[in-house]
Amino acid sequence: MKQTASVQITPPNIKTAVFKIVGTAPLVIHRFSAKAKNGMLDKMKEGSVANKGKKRAPLDTEAAFNSARYVATAGWDGFNVASIRCGLISACRLAGFKMTLAKMSVFVEADGRDATEPEFGLIRIYGKPRKTEMVARVETGQAYVTIRPSYDEWSAKVRIRFDADQFKIEDITNLLARVGEQVGIGEGRPDSKNSAGMGWGTFRIENEKAG
């Protein structure tokens, strides 16, 4: 007689925790500007001979500064909500937890949507942006000046939804603390893919609230 196995799948056990995070270093944002994207698209449309012999337009530093910011429909500055989730998943490497499981177990809620690209959810930054002009180098080694907003004193409220069958509230707290101390968010963070970071984008947890 053929035996059949019985599989019982429990419903998702999703909890929410709210944290206030406070920056321990400047938060530097470098959004890929719409002007740069449009320029790339124009080159693709024109073909391989595009822009040959054309002079580069003068740099408008104020426009470059504003285009590097994320501004919500309500007018406040923010950062991409995905940066916290990606940080949580990345920090799992430090705790020996499978990143593939974390992708299905931790989620971050946005405070609002970007005004020009609403597909981007944003977490509100409580702090004022300062225009910075920094020297960087492209892959060829050529130096150029980047214009970026820096939030020297900043804080944010982060709402994390998590699978309580995978994580306890203490796990989420400690994971976010590792993001703040060891991973970071934004440009120049410790866990930067392109460098060892500049010491930017780190934070500490001020309080927590579970629900």
Spell out the domains of the chain, with CATH numbers in brackets. 14-30+61-210 (3.30.70)
State how far the alpha carbon of 156 is from the alpha carbons of 23, 65, 160, in Å.
9, 21, 13
User: What pLDDT, in 10s, does the model give residues 112-163?
Assistant: 999 999 999 999 999 999 999 888 766 666 777 889 999 999 999 999 999 9
- Segment 15-21 mean pLDDT: 97
The pLDDT score that the predictor gives to residue 195 is: 81
**In this predicted model, which residue has the larger pLDDT, 184 or 32?**
184
The pLDDT score that the predictor gives to residue 34 is: 46
Q: Taking 80 as the threshold, does the pLDDT of residue 38 lie above it? A: no
Q: Taking 70 as the threshold, does the pLDDT of residue 45 lie above it? A: no
Residue 100 burial class via C-beta count within 10 angstroms: exposed 0-12, middle 13-18, buried 19 and up: exposed
Q: Taking 60 as the threshold, does the pLDDT of residue 53 lie above it? A: no
Q: 138 Cβ partners below 8 Å, 6+ apart?
A: 144
Q: Taking 80 as the threshold, does the pLDDT of residue 10 lie above it? A: yes
Q: Taking 80 as the threshold, does the pLDDT of residue 200 lie above it? A: yes
Q: Whole-angstrom Cα distance, residue 121 to residue 117?
A: 9
Q: Whole-angstrom Cα distance, residue 199 to residue 151?
A: 14
The pLDDT score that the predictor gives to residue 39 is: 47
Q: 107 Cβ partners below 8 Å, 6+ apart?
A: 85, 160, 161, 162
